[in-house]
Chain A
Amino acid sequence: MRHDHLITSKQLSRGDIETVLDYAAEVDADPSALADRHAGTLLGLLFFEPSTRTKMSFETAMKRLGGGIVDMGSVESSSVKKGETLADTVQVIEGYADALVLRHPKQGAATMASEFVDVPLLNAGDGAGHHPTQTMLDLYTIRENAGLDDLTIGIMGDLKYGRTVHSLAYALTNFDTQQHFISPESLQLPREVVYDLHQQQDGAGIKEHDALEEVLPSLDVLYVTRIQRERFPDENEYQKVAGEYQIDAETLEAASDDLTVMHPLPRVDEIAPEIDETDHAAYFEQAHNGVPVRMALLDLLLSDDKSIEGGSDE
């Protein structure tokens, strides 16, 4: 099927993903080839939560495609402050823009918003739910560094509220991967995500752990997320787990030389800066990949002659 909106990575087949990644690689090789492709096209940015990378990379991508952006600005300076509903906001901005990018603190916001608009809507994060465009750049980075099949990946940190984690985990079920989820018990994957992963992969490729040491030597990729201190009701509970989910050069002595370390950023203290200069570090490359991947996604969603209906699922 052709996708008019991009709400969750669950809607993407392997063929869809490969279409986007292959096209992103073409764009990455020669971004100027698409310089005028969407001249006159406007992308509406509706960010109800703070964002640096996602918002700026969408803005950059649209401008590199020759188009422009219309930005709602901060919630504080918008009509949202006056009590306007999200449903009304998206219907208004739909009249100004050719596609919408939405970030919102509520889970399901993008699903609901997509029911009110006809232009393509891309989910740029809905609460603790999904973040599918982040997943596409994550997959692009993983493929560049380690390939996407016969892959063992560890995903560590705040798995409960980490929307990038949920989206990535769903997408990886399209590939021959072993997924190891490493977190304190209080931040384990939501049970509905585990339910979905088992449905999609019979649970065979899914394992949960509380210690990185259990799996580190077997990993091709370690995807680290920030443990969100503010989520813990008790500071003492945070202190019990915080140090265990930081990695430094000493930690990685037990890892494969080929281990790729990723992080959706921003990081706080979970990856020591000394790792930045090693061959393991891929997180800045990962952030940079946001532009070509989002250029590819926008072009596929905005063009009549292209789509992410994808190829074979085989």
Chain B
Amino acid sequence: MSNDHDHHDGNDDHELRVSKIRDGTVIDHVHGGQALNVLAILGIDGTEGEEVSVGMNVPSDRLARKDIVKVEGRELSQDEVDVLSLIAPDATINIVRDYDVVEKHRVESPDVVEGVLSCPNAGCITTGDEPVTSRFSVLEDGVRCSYCETIIREEIAELIDT
């Protein structure tokens, strides 16, 4: 059974453009255009030989246009899912084993993300050489540096510390 059968956006033919996976994770309902940022968060740049399928701007009933990322042979950790929520708040995480979706859940925003984003404020203490891990509290519509208190609402993906 294909994990794709669990998607009911009325456009299975579009989704079938993206190959099925045997074991791994399907990240669905990512806002259109964010798939490459999802890969950045997961540290996937293709150099490690990962098997990844990406669908971009696929028609979706819920999001109008959505991206889908399928990662073979890797189940995401909760930390990774937490961070994903910052750029893909409506994403659905499907864990696939032997072609079956064995877990399916929506991402949930964490209260805090640490060591993931870099503060864009050049005047922030975390931008220097101090032995400090970046920390951001998660707001309803953005993130906030726990040190300089700068609020970032847009282009959070650009702050990902890869």
A→B interface (CB under 8 Å): 83, 85-87, 104-109, 111-112, 115, 126-129, 191-192, 195
Contacts and interface: CB of A to CB of B under 8 A. Distances in A.
Given A107-B149, A112-B147, A195-B151, A87 B124 contact: no
Given A87-B130, A195-B151, 11 more contacts: A85-B129, A85-B131, A86-B130, A104-B125, A105-B123, A107-B149, A108-B126, A108-B146, A108-B149, A111-B146, A112-B126
A127 B132 contact: no
B131 A106 contact: no
Interface in B128-145: 128-132, 144-145
Contacts of A126: 125
A112 B151 contact: no
Contacts of B149: 107-108, 129, 192
B64 interface: no
A191 B121 CA distance: 13
B11 interface: no
Nearest to A161: B123
* Interface core residue of B121, B125, B147, B148 (most chain A CB under 10 Å): B125
Contacts of A104: 125
A86 B151 contact: no
B150 interface: yes
Contacts of B123: 105-107, 127-128
A313 B147 CA distance: 26
Contacts of B146: 108, 111
A152 B121 CA distance: 33
A109 B131 contact: no
B124 A107 contact: yes
* Interface core residue of A106, A115, A126, A127 (most chain B CB under 10 Å): A106
Given A108-B149, A112-B130, A86 B144 contact: no
Contact of A192 (B127, B130, B151): B151
Contacts of B131: 85, 87
Contacts of B132: 87, 112, 115
Given A85-B131, A127-B123, A128-B123, A108 B148 contact: yes
A105 B130 CA distance: 14
12 contacts: A85-B128, A85-B130, A86-B130, A87-B130, A104-B125, A106-B124, A106-B127, A107-B147, A108-B148, A112-B130, A126-B125, A192-B149
Contact of B125 (A112, A191, A192, A195): A112
A191 B129 CA distance: 27
A24 to B, nearest CB: 27
Which 3 residue pairs across A and B have the least CB separation, nearest first? Answer: A108-B147, A107-B148, A106-B125
A92 B125 CA distance: 19
A91 to B, nearest CB: 11
A192 B147 CA distance: 13
Given A129-B149, A192-B151, A195-B151, A107 B121 contact: yes
Nearest to B127: A106
Contacts of B147: 107-108, 111-112
B151 to A, nearest CB: 5
A9 to B, nearest CB: 13
B151 A191 contact: yes
B68 to A, nearest CB: 34
Contacts of B150: 107, 192
A228 B144 CA distance: 27
A86 B144 CA distance: 22
Contacts of B125: 86, 104, 106-109, 111-112, 126
